[in-house]
Amino acid sequence: MTLTGLENENLKLIIFGGKGGVGKTSCAIATALALSENFKTLVISTDPAHSISDCLEQEVGFNVVKVNGTSKLSAIEVVADEALSKFVSVHQAALKKLLETATSLDNDDIDDMLSLSIPGIDEIMSFKTIVDFIEEGEYDKYVVDTAPTGHALRLISSPKLLDAWIKVAAKMRWKYRYMITSFAGSYTQDEVDAFLLGLKKTVKRIENLLRDDAKCEFIPVCIPELMAISETSRLLTDLSKSEIIPKQIIVNNVMISEESDFCKRRKTNQLPYLQSISETFSNLNKVEVPMFPEEIKGINALNELKSFLFESELIYKHIK
């Protein structure tokens, strides 16, 4: 099988996830390369390890760069800390006022609080950065390469975290508003209310996008090894809680060659796991990618990987 449906005009966001080292970054970039033949594509990494740069052999940072040797592919590595500080600096005034009106902290305490990293907030800001890109609409396709499983899940559940935070903040505001109304008789909305409303809208937009399977697709990447299969199963269960149901799975590192005794043994060793993948993920379209003799680095190797993902049919010939 090959990856299908990614060229659908409506499909904007494609997210790759899975255990560490299974080939997420390689597959995300190869997919983005394929899509960029017909669509203006942006590949986004949220992995703090700068793996896109390594894989493309080109420096990519927290600014969009054109990928060398392509005409319609760009890349960016979203750095969570930087995304967060950008957010804090843009909304500094509203955040400060929110804290001032809702707590008995003094100015120094508030400054300290604003410089602290709130758990989970970096994922939220990473996802917000992605959604902002999508809403700017400069690209046709956005391909997201995530850090290992736990991180992908935090990214997916970030709207829930942010929503919980907004609820607490709104409650504090409600008390403040009540106080002002009792003193002054009336209350006019200020920038803090506008800020919270804006955040609430962001959460809704992220949730709507993630749940819309015409617009967003999550592609798990797995390898024929026990731990990777278990982790992928858990990932799928957790994704389903957020109403995200993948349609296809990439099975990477499949040993095809029988050239040496080593290859033969490796191949035999993989057979039960391939069988297990077939059974465990029976409802998913399986896209097999062979184990390459060399690591996947640079455009040529990525193009080769691309052909396995989109052109070649590696039939499940081991299992019958």
Residue 220 binds which entry of ligand ADP, Mg ion, none, CB below 5-8 Å type-dependent: none
Tell me the one-letter amino acid at 238: D
Q: Which of residues 128-147 bind ligand ADP (CB under 6 A)?
A: none
- Residues whose CB falls within 8 Å of the CB of residue 173, separated by 6 or more in sequence, listed in order: 98, 101, 102, 192, 193, 196
What does the alpha-carbon distance between residue 62 and residue 183 come to, in Å, rounded to a whole number? 47
Least distance in Å: CB of 85 to ligand ADP? 26
Q: Which of residues 277-306 bind ligand ADP (CB under 6 A)?
A: 289, 291-292, 295-297
From 31, 51, 248, 270, residue interacting with ligand ADP (rule: CB under 6 A) = 51
From 202, 248, 253, 270, residue interacting with ligand ADP (rule: CB under 6 A) = 253
Residue 46 binds which entry of Mg ion, ligand ADP, none, CB below 5-8 Å type-dependent: none
Residue 158 binds which entry of ligand ADP, Mg ion, none, CB below 5-8 Å type-dependent: none
Least distance in Å: CB of 52 to Mg ion? 8
Return the number of other C-beta atoms located less than 10 Å from residue 29's C-beta.
27
41 is an interface residue for Mg ion by CB under 5 A: no
Least distance in Å: CB of 55 to Mg ion? 8
SS3 of residue 287 by DSSP: strand
Least distance in Å: CB of 23 to Mg ion? 8
- Residues whose CB falls within 8 Å of the CB of residue 79, separated by 6 or more in sequence, listed in order: 48, 61, 62
In this structure, are residues 117 and 79 in contact, taking their beta carbons and an 8 Å threshold? no
Q: Which of residues 281-310 bind Mg ion (CB under 5 A)?
A: none
* CA dihedral sign of residues 190, 191, 192, 197: positive
What would the DSSP string read from start to end of 92-140? Answer: HHHHHHHHHHHS---HHHHHHHHHSPPTTHHHHHHHHHHHHHHHHT--S
Residue 292 binds which entry of ligand ADP, Mg ion, none, CB below 5-8 Å type-dependent: ligand ADP
From 36, 41, 46, 51, residue interacting with Mg ion (rule: CB under 5 A) = 51
What does the alpha-carbon distance between residue 115 and residue 199 come to, in Å, rounded to a whole number? 19
Among candidates 54, 40, 33, 31, which has minimal Cα distance to 9? 40
Using the minimum distance from each CB to Mg ion, give the nearer residue, 130 or 203: 130
Using the minimum distance from each CB to ligand ADP, give the nearer residue, 157 or 253: 253
Binding site for ligand ADP (CB under 6 A): 18, 20-26, 51, 252-253, 289, 291-292, 295-297
Q: Residue numbers of the site for Mg ion (CB under 5 A)?
A: 24-25, 47, 51
